[in-house]
Structure 1
């Protein structure tokens, strides 16, 4: 029997129209969007479904993404597809916790709305930067980064792809040093801040106060935390891990490898885009990977997986 994990993408995967067909076809999805919009005093339907200039701004993106991904998750569960484990990349970790039963969907949306605002304003504009480093082993990147103050590893995405972050000049220096050390490409990213660096610690402290008001529960299935790539099975560590996560490295590749070691053989990427599916191809091609971003994909994937259970 397959062991199934739900995976959730992070910021950057958002796209206009995400989850619109779920809103139109599922009363539960509609209720989530409408309740979240009222709670935040923010029209999530307009933000997600209509052309606008706000969806790509961090302080709006995060609530929109989590609402969309959890609306899709609700429909999968309604159809009888449930995970044995969950994980999410950065922002997606909130979806993973909610899907695992560690917090309510509305609390997840409410918390990331605050998280997005805190992260957007954590560092003065232009002081931070991020770059993707392609074609270099993790240990080689780490060795170079140890010599450069003010630059850090933000994401271990998959073999041959790491993201660095930190002070703008330090990230530029690190990029040059990594290229000289053998990186195939160094690609500066269009982001609004030096995410997953110590420059975000102020955002983490503010987030801590918001999380203190959130009711956390023991997850009904384990989720994997970005901070350590380890399974979380109790409610006690969740709050502290989410505070640390804002300024810590996202250990995505390690998370996937640990899930596979725990017996997960079927992964479902939930939400817009195919970022996590592309990472999986470079991490382990022996597992089964599905994507669900549309109503039609939900029908197809549920049918395929459930007939084998």
Structure 2
């Protein structure tokens, strides 16, 4: 990625970068993104070369957030990493939205089961209507 960093920054300078409306954890720092970082083309080029600080970021979230973590999309990598960080008495739940490739059930069936579990954990049922009308 190194050879394209300068060109990538120059392209980003042509795009209007705005502060986020919803906060998120930076994979570059492992902390909450700042407005200055989010609007800095050099910050975004760092994503191409720096180590992902997932462990630091998920630790931040686990300290500050009680609820359900939902991995959206195929695979279980992030949900597995998140589960590894949970305390035995954790108040958080970790779910996946789609079955593992080796699971022998339909995607729709799995998704509906996950929506049911989200509802059991107190997530607003209207989310299910958005995902599966």
TM-score range relative to shorter protein: 0.5 to 0.7
1:295 CA drift (Å) = 4.2
TM-score (norm 2): 0.66
| 1:229 counterpart = 2:42 | no
Corresponding residue to 1:252 among 54, 62, 67: 54
- In 2, the alpha carbon distance for the partners of 1:227 and 1:277 equals 19
RMSD between aligned alpha carbons?
A: 2.3
Aligned partner of 2:112 in structure 1 is 299
In structure 1, the gaps of 5 or more residues are 1-199
Q: Name which structure has the greater RCO, CA cutoff 8 Å, separation 6+.
A: 1
- In 2, the alpha carbon distance for the partners of 1:229 and 1:281 equals 17
Contact 1:221 1:233 (C-alpha < 8 Å) held by counterparts: no
Corresponding residue to 2:65 among 233, 254, 263: 263
Aligned partner of 1:138 in structure 2 is none
Once the two structures are superposed, the pairs formed by residues 97-112 of structure 1 within 5 Å of their partners are none
More strand by share: 1
- In 2, the alpha carbon distance for the partners of 1:264 and 1:209 equals 40
Once the two structures are superposed, the pairs formed by residues 136-155 of structure 1 within 5 Å of their partners are none
SS in structure 2 of the partner of residue 289 of structure 1? strand
Inter-CA distance 261–240: structure 2 relative to 1 (3 Å threshold): farther
TM-score (norm 1): 0.32
| 1:202 counterpart = 2:12 | no
Corresponding residue to 2:45 among 243, 253, 261: 243
1:233 CA drift (Å) = 4.9
In structure 2, the gaps of 5 or more residues are 99-106, 124-133
